[in-house]
């Protein structure tokens, strides 16, 4: 089934497939495009933390909420390089950097470009998430060697309004369009478990399928309900529903890297393996994911060894 043919009925049918059958179907799709024992390892670093003017209801870095996250200025180049080298030594293929901005300040953007060039020189893939971009900024990032730009849609267009009020869905789509025009790879996904319905999850996945070009990288996050945020008391999503969502993403996007992102710290090893079986083939290494807890490197290494995952190769068929 090609991208243009996906509709709500298709996705509802997928979601209603018995769990084992759906995972089997997704795994067959996965094996047709990737080695089933490969895992892409990425690292994510917050290079500018806290005091973000956006009010994303899940984010501890928002200036609107009291979560205990301290405001920090843009990290110095030497420290970024130190962290990038450490990530590479731990096995990371891609080094991702996030800054808590609505959009990159003009006075800081030249420093961002220098950071990209320096990390790229380490023979790492480079990804950044800096908020909204202009077309000129996207083109400058491409020129200095940025490989991926992450800009998540988060959820469906309708449910989005209940999570964020300071930035519209159209704003997000505009930045993604600029990233596409500039020739950067698009990294775009969302957060599952923010209280959305299955209909919202269906509409979110359909929106991903309508983006300007096929996605190379899709991060799927499980909400971390952080104290002080509006979603701190969100009902935890059913594990089977989350795994089914991973499977639906794999079937819809057979050639994309699907990253099991935030929320792994709270997942059992068995749940993570089900997600890998369903088609997730990338994770973030490191004890901290921006400002939240992540599955530790030692835990990941033990798990990968138990299940025969090769965590440093990731070669497409």
Q: Which of 42, 187, 188, 248 is catalytic?
A: 187
317 assigned to some structural domain:
no
Where residue 2 falls among pLDDT bands split at 50, 70, 90? very low
- Looking at residue 314, its pLDDT comes to 43
Domain assignment present for residue 239? The answer is yes
Q: Pick the catalytic residue from 172, 201, 250, 259.
A: 259
Question: 74-125, pLDDT tens digit by residue?
Answer: 989 999 999 899 888 888 888 999 888 888 999 999 999 999 999 999 999 9
Domain membership flag for residue 251:
yes
Across 67-84, b (16+ Cβ under 10 Å) vs e yields bebeeeebbeeeebeebb
Do the Cβ atoms of 151 and 175 come closer than 8 Å? yes
Q: How confident is the model at residue 315 (pLDDT cuts 50, 70, 90)?
A: very low
211 or 72: which carries more pLDDT confidence? 211
- Grade residue 1 by pLDDT with cuts at 50, 70 and 90: very low
The total of structural domains in the chain comes to 1
User: In angstroms, rounded to a whole number, what is the distance separating the alpha carbons of residues 239 and 105?
Assistant: 40
CA distance linking residue 224 with residue 191, whole number of Å: 9
Is 275 designated active site? Answer: no
Q: Is residue 160 part of a domain?
A: yes
What would the mean pLDDT of 152-165 be, rounded to a whole number?
95
Alpha carbon of residue 182 to chain centroid: 20
Q: Mark whether 188 is an active-site residue.
A: no
- The answer to the question of residue 313 being in a domain is no
Q: What's 133's domain CATH number?
A: 3.20.20.70
Q: Confirm whether 314 is domain-assigned.
A: no
Catalytic residue among 56, 188, 248, 275: 56
Domain of residue 179 covers 3-9+20-307
Match 């849609």 to its residue by tokens.
153
- Report pLDDT for 133: 95
Among 93, 140, 153, 157, CA closest to 119: 93
Q: Is residue 315 part of a domain?
A: no
Q: What mean pLDDT is predicted for residues 234-246?
A: 95
> CB of 208 within 8 A of CB of 11?
no
Catalytic-labelled residue, pool 127, 188, 248, 275:
127
Do the domain assignments include residue 66? yes
Q: Distance between terminal CA atoms of the chain?
A: 20
Share of the chain above pLDDT 70, in %: 94
Paired tokens of 247: 């499977």
Asked if 42 is an active-site residue, the reply is: no
What pLDDT, on the 0 to 100 scale, is given for residue 241?
Answer: 97
Higher pLDDT, 100 or 194: 194
């Amino acid at each position: 089934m090609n991208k243009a043919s996906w509709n709500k009925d298709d996705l509802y049918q997928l979601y209603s497939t018995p769990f084992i059958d759906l995972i089997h179907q997704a795994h067959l799709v996965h094996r047709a495009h990737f080695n089933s024992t490969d895992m892409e390892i990425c690292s994510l670093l917050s290079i500018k933390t806290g005091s973000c003017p956006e009010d994303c209801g899940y984010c501890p870095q928002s200036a609107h909420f009291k979560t205990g996250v301290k405001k920090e200025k843009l990290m110095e180049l030497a420290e970024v390089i130190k962290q990038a080298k450490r990530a590479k030594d731990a096995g990371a293929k891609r080094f991702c950097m996030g800054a808590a901005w609505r959009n990159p300040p003009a006075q800081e953007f030249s420093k961002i470009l220098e950071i990209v060039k320096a990390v790229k020189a380490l023979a790492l893939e480079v990804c950044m998430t800096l908020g909204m971009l202009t077309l000129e900024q996207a083109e400058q990032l491409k020129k200095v060697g940025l490989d991926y730009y992450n800009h998540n849609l988060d959820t469906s267009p309708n449910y989005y309004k209940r999570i964020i009020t300071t930035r519209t869905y159209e704003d997000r789509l505009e930045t993604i369009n600029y990233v596409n025009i500039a020739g950067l790879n698009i990294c775009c996904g969302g957060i599952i478990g923010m209280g959305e319905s299955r209909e919202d999850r269906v509409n979110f996945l359909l929106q991903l399928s309508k983006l300007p070009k096929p996605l190379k990288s899709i991060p799927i996050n499980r909400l971390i309900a952080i104290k002080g945020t509006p979603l701190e008391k969100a009902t935890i999503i059913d594990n089977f529903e989350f795994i089914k969502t991973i499977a639906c993403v794999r079937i819809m996007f057979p050639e994309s890297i699907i990253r099991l992102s935030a929320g792994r710290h709270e997942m059992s090893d068995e749940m993570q393996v089900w997600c890998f079986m369903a088609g997730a083939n990338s994770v973030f290494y490191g004890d901290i994911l921006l400002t939240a807890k992540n599955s530790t490197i030692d835990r990941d290494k033990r798990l990968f060894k138990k299940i025969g995952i090769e965590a440093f190769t990731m070669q497409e068929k």
